[in-house]
Amino acid sequence: MEAQAAGHRLDRFVAQALPDLSRSFVQHLIAAGQVLVNAQAVRPSHALRHGDLVSVTVPPAQPVALVPEAIPLHVVYEDADVVVVEKPAGMVVHPAPGHPNGTLVNALLARYPDMQVGGDLRPGIVHRLDAGTSGLLVVARHDQALRHLTALQHARQMRKIYLAVAEGRFKQAEGLIDAPVGRHPHDRLRMAVTPTGREARTHYRVCEELGNYTLLELRLETGRTHQIRVHLQHLGRPILGDPLYGVRKGRPTFGLERQFLHAHCLGFQLLDGSWREFTSPLPADLQAVLVKLRAMRTA
């Protein structure tokens, strides 16, 4: 990947670009020569310059036993089939290189010890949120529920609405971003709008104009990796604070340490046929940014 964070430490840049990897794991990769700058091994504290080419080699994940961990969970809804949780920003959904524990899956197994679903390291996980994204997730408690939720998702019968603040303003109050998303042609660590990508459709609605920023409501019709983040960057309206698709040197983040993206609403059909819909308010760090933006607008 081409470094776009001139002046940043190498370990910090890589940890932000690959949010599934902890900073300590990134430092271990650097020490092992798995992270190169312009094909050269450097120290974790190496300051990047504009145009530097950073390459990262992540070794294959070793088999990890799932360990229940008594991590606090905010459960919005539960029954014998499914659990709806509110994931905080910073929490990884399932074990991955650099995150063998401390994940949402570890916390769920401690609370629901019988939830060995699917036979892998992602028991019951139907969809995921990036580590830096907060909000609502539904998890299956048994295989039948997993099949049910997976079928709903494939049929596009789950309602997923996000709130985001994007840089810039929108000419239209609402619209549809219909652009295929796939692996970036030159950077395997990122996604991009590309002709060879998979169909991706995001509906947006302007909720509030905040000077040179816009509060948006976004509804996913498809669920590609990083879809909202990629689609808004494609429009030239990246998400405020996005470390991978938005942040550039000199752009303000208003103290935000992650992307302003929150899974606000989640609706789906339960196994008994009833429709349920859940909402999650903006967490405190995102609310604080809105307060600052509104104050700037009225100043």
How far apart are alpha carbons 149 and 152 in whole angstroms? 5
How far apart are alpha carbons 42 and 52 in whole angstroms? 12
pTM above 0.75, yes or no: yes
Q: Known catalytic residues?
A: 130
Residues in the chain: 299
End-to-end Cα, the chain, rounded Å: 40
Interval 24-75: pLDDT, tens:
778 878 887 888 988 888 888 888 888 888 888 887 655 556 788 999 999 9
Question: For residue 149, which of 118, 119, 180, 107 has the smallest C-alpha distance?
Answer: 118
Interval 185-239: pLDDT, tens:
877 678 999 998 999 999 999 999 999 999 999 999 999 999 999 999 999 999 9
Domains of the chain: 10-56 (3.10.290.10), 61-155 (3.30.2350.10), 156-299 (3.30.2350.10)
User: Residue 118: pLDDT above 60?
Assistant: no
Res 185: pLDDT: 83
